[in-house]
Each structure stands twice: as structure tokens, then as C-alpha cells.
Amino acid sequence: MTQMTDKTIAVVKGLIMDGVAKANSGHPGGAMSSSDYATILFSEFLNTNPDDTKWFNRDRFIMAAGHESMLLYSLLHLNGLLSLDDLKEFRQLGSRTPGHPEVNETPGVEATSGPLGQGFAVSVGFAAAEAHLRDKLGSDVMDHYTYAVSCDGDIQEPVALGAASLAGLWGLGKLIIYYDSNKIQLASPCSQVDCTDHRKVFEGMCWQVLEVDGHNQDEIRAAIKEGQLETGKPTLIIGHTTMAKGCATMEGSHKTHGSPLSTEEISATKEKLGLPAENFYVPEDVVANFQSRFDGLRKNAADWQAVVDEKLGDPEFASMWKEVTMPRSERKIDWPEFTPGETMATRKAWGACLNSVMESLPTLVGGSADLDPSNQTQHFRDTYGDFGVTGYGSRNLAFGVREFPMAAIMNGLQLHGGLMPFGATFLTFADYCRNAIRMSALQKLPVLYVFTHDSFWVGEDGPTHQPIEHVSSLRLIPDLIDLRPADAMETAVCLDIAITQEEMPSTIFLTRQGLPVLDPAEYPAVTDGPRKGGYVLKDCDGTPDLILIGSGSEVALCLETAKVLKRKVRVVSMPSTKLFDDQPESYKNEVLPPEVTARAAAEAGRTPLWYKYVGLNGVVLGLDHFGASAPGKILSDKYGFTPENFARMIREKY
């Protein structure tokens, strides 16, 4: 075993060097120092289905140190999932081997792990999903491990430690993360930037911590087995390794972190490793040995399927299995009704919607970043308990004051499959979540971000808590649905859009202040119009003299302003600029006829985006400065968010 393992590891290191050299770009050093652990894990421990990379109960592996992608691709080649030609196209346009692992580009890649820290946090989401579904489906159906390879830079990112704290609290015993501690990062030795005792830190966060020589095969195997035996705590295996282990002259050099090795260094290293000089060398015996477990893995998968087929005879299991496997787009949800004319904050409408549908959506899981009463998730939490604290079957995820870990963990929950995650906080804290939101969009993950307290109407908490630029900023992220409903009716439609979405994440922006509930008898389009992003809420006879466009709380302002103006006015509600922009040009011209150039828009946030819809000479009522600490109504008057002031601005222009 040792001789063949040595040979396999050498071959993997040869592929890493050759792939990076051919691309003239990449990170060979860390990939080589992690090769011993990753090769043993893939060849001896991972439980997968060789014929189905999406088999539901497969062990999940996340390359959290995404710059070590060439290591993962080399192992996927030995698994038969990538060809040598794929490896030769490393980092090239259109290849299946991009610079960092991309979940939608490469078979066998579980998560897009680019920004350091997030792969670690995402793995916590995977493990949480496994634990919850194990409780719901039974350990004979869901019992896989989640493995990840992390690195020094990965651990330095605070998002990793925030997620680690939750993993420890939740007791995710089937999470095993290998920390390749080669003590070198891109620009320097780690000693120049870090003095952390990671054993103490992780043990303090309720992890089992094991330390091994990361190049000792027996210690690696023993640590993985010990991690598997610990069922009440996640396991961190700290592998003390040497950067670019095996290199002829550059072992331990930070110069190997982010640059290809020279031709001379590669040649000398191959000789040292006992490899021939040829590039992309993969002998048949290494492949055969690596795949020697395949028949047994196939039998495991077949036995698992037989268990599922038998359990489908149980109506309770069959019902839950249907929920777990149902495409989101096929869901038909009965949303609550609201009383026209009442005043209700859209955050309360969200809470009412959540409370109404949570029983009929048993795979809906999520929670708040320590803002349950404000985010209207308190009843959900009280009803279903806190995951990992009151039980793995509990559906509320109490994230604490950890917005970035919350968002990254949600990505892991969604990537795992079988669950519909949501997370809530104040809109001003969206900046903490932002890079994970971007990763949601990049990976086509339909997670739901609930952001309440969406404008200066937050009031007395002051400018630190009053979002100004946040909605416009989030709209800059491609393939992210922005939803800012005008009232309770639109809130329900917007939530239906988000919950039934298959490939795009959604951000919903909700008010603290009350808004009038629109009457479908007077505004019939409100019941379905939001699905197209923007729609005619109230029209006039004939061609309008003026079009008013509003979003969220400013739709009511537009309706009142139309009354003050006493002109032929069309009022357009635009809860989602993304969905509106995606409509056919013919529809957009129906809503905003090009011949009607007198236009005005209102939104309690930054103004530049709205000139896209009103024209460069149009009128935009917004906020391009920070707020102040005062009651919301006083700020509304001060900043001119009144029908009288909006009408004055329009009259002065048109």
C-alpha cells in the first residue's frame, strides 16, 4: 500500500507541476503540500458513486483552498471524471479546469471556492444539511461525511472562524476539515502575519483537534478514522506540512505559492520523485489502484437505492422524500391574504407569510443574525427550535451576530441539496454578507436573503443603521434578483418568486414603517405584476402626460403624488429592476412608452440607477447622503419624501 500510495502521490504532484507550468499560471506549492492527505482521502475513504457524481448520499469534498485546484483536478482525473486533455487546458477559456474550482463547470466539484474562508464556511452548511436531513430521512438514507481541505490563508479569514464557532455549537460530528498548515502564504511566511494557536482556538470552539505530520501516511489515515469516530464534534486535522513538498530545491519557499515552477525545477523534482521526464505522466497501474474501490462503491450506492425504494412504501417517508427532491419551480404555495386599506410594514407581511407557509414547506430552513423579533422570524424559531441546540431536526438556524458566515453557510445548505435556506438581517448589514451573496449568484443558488429596515425610515438608530447605497449596490451583482415590494400584497408575490426560483438568489428589501395595503379591486395588477419586475399599477385614460416610477415604500408616495399633480399620470411599481430588465423590449415599451419622456422616479436610496428609466433629464427623488438620528417621519419631511415636495420637483421640470 505504501509503495503504491507513494507512487500515486508522486504522479499527482507531477500533474500539478505540469498543469500549472503549461498554463504559466497557478499555485503549485500548496497543492503539493496537501497532496498526501487529499490523495489518501480520495483513494481510500471517500464514499461516492463512480457512475453518478450527484448521488444524494455521497460524501462531499470541498476544496476550500481553491487555489489548490490543480490538486483536485488531478484526483478527479484519477477518478475518471476528467481527461488528460482537460488537465492540459488548465485555466484556459472554456475548459473544465478553471483557475479555481467552479461547481457548474467541472464534474465532481461540489462548490465554487474562490475567496478564501468561504469554502470553510460552505462546508459547515453542507454538514448542517446532512445532519438535518439525517434526522428527517433516517441515517440509512442520509449519513455521509463532509470533508474539506483548508489552508493558512483560509483560516485567517474571519468568516471561517465565525462558521467554525457555529459548527462547534451545533456539534457537526460528520464534518472533517483538514488544515494544511504549511506555514507559508503568498507574500511571506505565516509567522509575519499570524501568531494564532489554532489547536487552542478550535478546541475552545468545541472542535476535536488532531495534529499530524501531513506527509506521514499512517498518521493521516489514523486521523481520518478518528475524525469519523467522533460523532459529537466536528474535527479539525492540522497537518503540519512543507510547502511544495517534494521539490528539488524550493521546498518551503513562498515563491512556490502563486507562480509556476521553472522547467529546471520541475525536471529535477520529477527525478527526485522517481517520475519520468514526460509531461502529464499517468501510468495505468496508478489509475487501476486508484479505482480499485469502484465496484464496492457501486454496490454501496445500489444497496442505498434499495433502502430508499423500500422506505418509499412508508407514507410519512414518501411525503418527506417528495419535499426533499421536488424542483422548486413546481411548488404551489398558498400565501396569506391581507386586508386592503390596513397599514402594515412589509417586514411584518414577510413574517405573516413565513408563519402561514412554514408548515407546508417542511424543507424551508433558516434564521436571523440575532435579530429574530425585528426580522419577524421569532415565531418560526419558537415553533421549530434551534438547529443543533434543541435537535438536528430543528429548522431555525440561530446564526448569532455573524452575517457573513450566515450567508456562506446558506450557500452550503443550498449546494448540498434537499433544503430551501433563508437568512435575515438588517439591510445595512448586507455589506457583511456581500461576497457570499455574490457567490450565491455565481453558483446559481436560489437562496433567499431577507433584509429588513430598508431605508432612512429606520429612524432613531441613526445613519449607521440607515441603508442608503445598499439596494443599488446589490443590484450591481449579476444574476441576483432584487425584490423591494410596495406593500403586503407585493411581498407575498415577491416571496413566491424567490421560493420557486431555480437558479438565481433573491434579496428582498422590507420596511420597518407601515405601508397601506393595496386593494386588488382598485389595483388588479398587484396580484401578479411583480413577476415581471415592473408593471403598470395605476393608469390614466389615453396616453399619459407623465409616468411616475416607484419602488417599495415610495410606490405609495407616487400614488399620492399623482393625486396632487392632477394630470394624466401613469404609476409604475418596480419591485425588481432585474426582472424588469429581463423582460422583452416590447413589454418594457408597453410599461414605459418611449414617446412619454416626462418621467419621475422615487426610491429612498441612491439616485443614479433610476436615470436609466426616467432618462438623463428625468426627475429622481432619492437620497445621496447619509441619514441622521431622528424619528422616520421627521426625516421624511426633512429629505422631501412627501407628495407635495415630489410634485413640486416634477412641476419645476415639466
Is 403 among the residues known to form the active site? Answer: yes
Whether 71 is covered by a domain: the verdict is yes
Whether 313 is covered by a domain: the verdict is no
Per annotation, catalytic residue among 102, 219, 403, 603: 403
Say whether both 261 and 385 belong to one domain: no
Q: From the centroid of its chain, how far is CA 412?
A: 7
pLDDT the model gives residue 184: 87
Domain that holds residue 370: 328-516
- When pLDDT is averaged across residues 485-499 and rounded to a whole number, the result is 98
How long a stretch of residues is the chain? Answer: 654
pLDDT the model gives residue 314: 97
- When pLDDT is averaged across residues 577-603 and rounded to a whole number, the result is 98
Say whether both 8 and 128 belong to one domain: yes
pLDDT the model gives residue 264: 97
- When pLDDT is averaged across residues 306-310 and rounded to a whole number, the result is 98
Say whether both 530 and 582 belong to one domain: yes
pLDDT the model gives residue 571: 98
- Give 211's strand partners: 238
Rg of the chain, C-alpha, whole Å: 27
Nearest to 488 by CA among 336, 346, 343: 346
In this structure, the dihedral spanned by the alpha carbons of residues 447, 452, 456 and 459, taken in order and rounded to 10 degrees, is -160
pLDDT digits 0-9 by tens, 3-25: 999 999 999 999 999 999 999 99
Return d(Cα 597, Cα 611) in angstroms, integer: 12
Return d(Cα 427, Cα 159) in angstroms, integer: 19
Whether 220 is covered by a domain: the verdict is yes
Say whether both 512 and 528 belong to one domain: no
- Give 181's strand partners: 240
pLDDT the model gives residue 14: 98
Say whether both 507 and 531 belong to one domain: no
Say whether both 106 and 175 belong to one domain: yes
- Rounded to 5 degrees, what angle do the CA atoms 90, 19, 275 make? 155
Count other Cβ atoms within 10 Å, centred on residue 465: 18
Say whether both 388 and 459 belong to one domain: yes
Burial of 159 (0-12, 13-18, 19+ CB in 10 A): buried
- When pLDDT is averaged across residues 327-351 and rounded to a whole number, the result is 97
Grid coordinates belonging to 125: 452548511
pLDDT the model gives residue 540: 96
Whether 631 is covered by a domain: the verdict is yes
Whether 559 is covered by a domain: the verdict is yes
User: For residue 254, what pLDDT band results from cuts at 50, 70 and 90?
Assistant: confident
285 sits in the region (left: phi over 0; alpha: psi -120 to 50; else beta) called alpha
pLDDT digits 0-9 by tens, 271-306: 999 999 999 999 999 999 999 999 999 999 999 999
pLDDT the model gives residue 566: 84
Say whether both 585 and 545 belong to one domain: yes
State the average pLDDT for the chain: 97
Whether 433 is covered by a domain: the verdict is yes
Residue 349: phi and psi, rounded to 5, are -65, -40
Say whether both 138 and 73 belong to one domain: yes
Q: From the centroid of its chain, how far is CA 119?
A: 10
- Give 483's strand partners: 508
pLDDT digits 0-9 by tens, 99-157: 999 999 999 999 999 899 999 999 999 999 999 999 999 999 999 999 999 999 999 99
- How many domains does the structure of the chain reveal? 3
Say whether both 466 and 486 belong to one domain: yes
Q: Where residue 616 sits, what CATH number does that domain have?
A: 3.40.50.920
Question: Last residue of some domain: 470, 489, 516?
Answer: 516
Question: Last residue of some domain: 482, 500, 516?
Answer: 516
Return d(Cα 124, Cα 135) in angstroms, integer: 17
AA letter at 218: D
Whether 231 is covered by a domain: the verdict is yes
- Whether residue 188 has pLDDT greater than 90: no
Say whether both 105 and 182 belong to one domain: yes
Whole-prediction pTM: 0.97
Whether 304 is covered by a domain: the verdict is no
pLDDT the model gives residue 336: 97
Q: Where residue 453 sits, what CATH number does that domain have?
A: 3.40.50.970
- Whether residue 438 has pLDDT greater than 80: yes
pLDDT digits 0-9 by tens, 189-205: 899 999 999 999 999 99
Q: From the centroid of its chain, how far is CA 346?
A: 24
Could you tell me if 131 and 418 are in contact, meaning their C-beta atoms sit under 8 angstroms apart? no
Q: Is beta strand 343-345 parallel, antiparallel or unpaired with respect to 514-516?
A: antiparallel
pLDDT the model gives residue 332: 95
- Whether residue 185 has pLDDT greater than 90: no
pLDDT the model gives residue 1: 58
pLDDT digits 0-9 by tens, 511-522: 999 999 999 999
- When pLDDT is averaged across residues 591-603 and rounded to a whole number, the result is 98
CA torsion sign, 97 to 102 to 103 to 105? negative
Question: Last residue of some domain: 462, 486, 516?
Answer: 516
Grid coordinates belonging to 140: 440509512
Question: How many contiguous H segments (helices) and E segments (strands) does the chain have?
Answer: 27, 17
User: How far, CA to CA in Å, does 146 sit from each of 90, 306, 460, 533?
Assistant: 26, 23, 45, 39
User: How far, CA to CA in Å, does 115 sit from each of 126, 155, 238, 413, 470?
Assistant: 18, 12, 21, 18, 21
Q: Which segments within 219-284 are labelled E, that is strand?
A: 235-240
pLDDT digits 0-9 by tens, 76-87: 999 999 999 999
Say whether both 396 and 499 belong to one domain: yes
